Amino acid sequence: MTIDTNHISKVFDAQAATALRLRSSTANERIAKIRRLRDAVIAHTEDWYHAAYLDFKKPQGEVDLAEILPVCMEANDAIRNLKKWMKPTHVWPTLLTLGMRSHVQHTPRGRCLIVGPFNYPVNLTLGPLVSAIAAGNTAILKPSELTPHLSGLICKVVREVFTEDEVAIFEGEAEVSQALLALPFDHIFFTGSPTIGKYVMGAAAKNLASVTLELGGKSPTIIDETANLKLAATNVMWAKFANAGQTCIAPDYVFVHENVKDAWLACCREQLIKAYGTTLEAQKSSPHLAHIVNGRHTKRIKALLDDAQAQGARTITGGGASEGDCFIQPTLLDQVSPTSRIMEEEIFGPLLPVISYSNLDEVIAHINEGPKPLALYIYSRSNAHIDKVLTQTVSGGACVNHALMQFLQGNLPFGGINNSGIGNAHGHYGFKAFSHERGVVRTQFSFAATLFSAGEVPGMIRQAIKSAFKIL
């Protein structure tokens, strides 16, 4: 595929004038655009279903819950609250700024690049776009080439709603992303793996562009001896195997207390049979299970499974694969070697290692030995255990007695830390991610204006400074 770098550059240049004009755009103007985008997304509901099925047989229920609904929630939140978000935030004067007024003004960052992933392409491309528009920016989108039908539909929707000088979109392979990343954007919002995130951050550094990186990692789950086992089984099986495990905040491995491990696994098997059937053929044709996005990723996940089994892992349930259909069974593994690849790499597929434990301190130590995860889940009825885990570990987000819900709670910041991401998204936090918080001081009367002038610092100011030293 030939990359039209001239067209990309022309669009980028055209957005410069638009970005300047949008600095003075009103809340009502931005809300109108967000409403048009939301309505276009809803109008194409049946098209989203069809495209998602063609790309990786994603069930309609998952398209509703994890693609369309989050974009609409993001849009509705901005429509309701944008006028409040845009208002200057007044702050109290300090000792040295008495007689002056200060406030924080949220200004648009300017021209923004949004690079979307393949696993939830609608949600994780158009959701950030809502925030970019709310903050008054222009945007160029790069959807994933791994989901061509969904990406093509995203292009159609964006072009129905916007002109290229405000929101543009370019499809293509990695070369298109590279061409875009070479441009001096003001902000880059990237969702993907930590490996590619490092490349994106390096490209941004060349232009000193700010970044929001929504990455991933190995998100742990803890099920202690006090947990509601049926609840934990139902939640974890859904959270892990939705979208065939291709979810950045899916449980990556589970620690289960040795006293309840067998009982919990029995609940898990019962839940999997009830939800998806028992045989490879039944599960492959299940309307409730997505497939892997392509053959390359299927081979990668199958290689993780083969390596774990070669190092002694026991298959509790599942383990089958149909590489030609890009399908791998929901699989639970026991007795997994800590040196196997599945315990070192983010799985991003329907494989779940289960590890027994007896001492919670050892679990916490294991979590803290690795990179900080994007999510952490604990199932427990013990407030002492819950508080201990939340206090002694670090993660981007966390859930207690549930999973994935930190993403759907739009009033919370969503983001990682270090290896699992930089910055936050969603709601007001997404608006702030695409805004610059400018500090403004306004002098109110002439006396204040003369406090700091050429020559000697006034005696009263010198005395105030000395008093401040004493306070410190």
Mean pLDDT of 359-382: 97
Indicate the pLDDT class of residue 199, thresholds 50, 70 and 90.
very high
In the prediction, which pLDDT does 309 show?
A: 97
Contact 274, 241 (CB under 8 A): no
| Catalytic status, residue 214 | yes
Q: What are phi and psi of 63, to 5 degrees?
A: -65, -45
Q: Read off the pLDDT of residues 425-465 as tens digits, 9 standing for 90 and up.
A: 999 999 999 999 999 999 876 555 566 655 555 665 666 66
Q: Write down the mean pLDDT value for the chain.
A: 94
The SS3 call for residue 90 is: strand
In the prediction, which pLDDT does 38 show?
A: 98
Which of 72, 74, 225, 248 is an active site residue? 248
| Catalytic status, residue 248 | yes
List the Cα angle 338/393/241 in 5-degree steps.
Answer: 60
The DSSP letter of residue 371 is: P
Q: Read off the pLDDT of residues 373-392 as tens digits, 9 standing for 90 and up.
A: 999 999 999 999 999 999 99
Q: Read off the pLDDT of residues 253-304 as tens digits, 9 standing for 90 and up.
A: 999 999 999 999 999 999 999 999 999 999 999 999 999 999 999 999 999 9
Indicate the pLDDT class of residue 76, thresholds 50, 70 and 90.
very high
Mean pLDDT of 88-100: 88
Indicate the pLDDT class of residue 466, thresholds 50, 70 and 90.
low
Q: Which of 107, 112, 86 is nearest to 27 (CA)?
A: 86
Task: Report domain extents, the chain.
Answer: 5-215+422-436, 220-415
351 beta partners: 331
Handedness of CA 15, 21, 22, 28 (dihedral sign): negative
CATH 3.40.309.10 is the classification of domain 220-415: yes
In the prediction, which pLDDT does 154 show?
A: 98
Tokens (6 digits) for 82: 């944008």
Contact 74, 130 (CB under 8 A): yes
Q: Read off the pLDDT of residues 299-347 as tens digits, 9 standing for 90 and up.
A: 999 999 999 999 999 999 999 999 999 999 999 999 999 999 999 999 9
Q: What are phi and psi of 299, to 5 degrees?
A: -65, -40
In the prediction, which pLDDT does 3 show?
A: 77
Compute how many other C-beta atoms are within 10 angstroms of the C-beta atom of residue 43: 11
Contact 334, 354 (CB under 8 A): yes
Tokens (6 digits) for 350: 């329907």
Q: Which of 240, 223, 218, 196 is nearest to 368 (CA)?
A: 218
Q: Read off the pLDDT of residues 15-31 as tens digits, 9 standing for 90 and up.
A: 999 999 999 999 999 99
Based on C-alpha coordinates, what's the Rg of the chain? 25
What does each C-alpha distance from 386 to 224, 362, 376, 402, 464 come to in angstroms? 10, 15, 11, 13, 47
Contact 405, 381 (CB under 8 A): no
Distance CA(392)–CA(367), nearest Å, equals 10
CB-based contacts of 282, cutoff 8 Å, min separation 6: 276
Distance CA(374)–CA(360), nearest Å, equals 20
Element (H, E) at 10: helix 5-22
Q: What is the pTM of this model?
A: 0.94
111 beta partners: 138
Q: Which of 85, 111, 133, 88 is nearest to 20 (CA)?
A: 111
Element (H, E) at 453: none
Distance CA(431)–CA(423), nearest Å, equals 12
Percent of the chain with pLDDT over 90: 91
Q: Read off the pLDDT of residues 128-156 as tens digits, 9 standing for 90 and up.
A: 999 999 999 999 999 999 999 999 999 99
In the prediction, which pLDDT does 95 show?
A: 81
CATH class of 5-215+422-436: alpha beta
Which of 164, 214, 225, 346 is an active site residue? 214
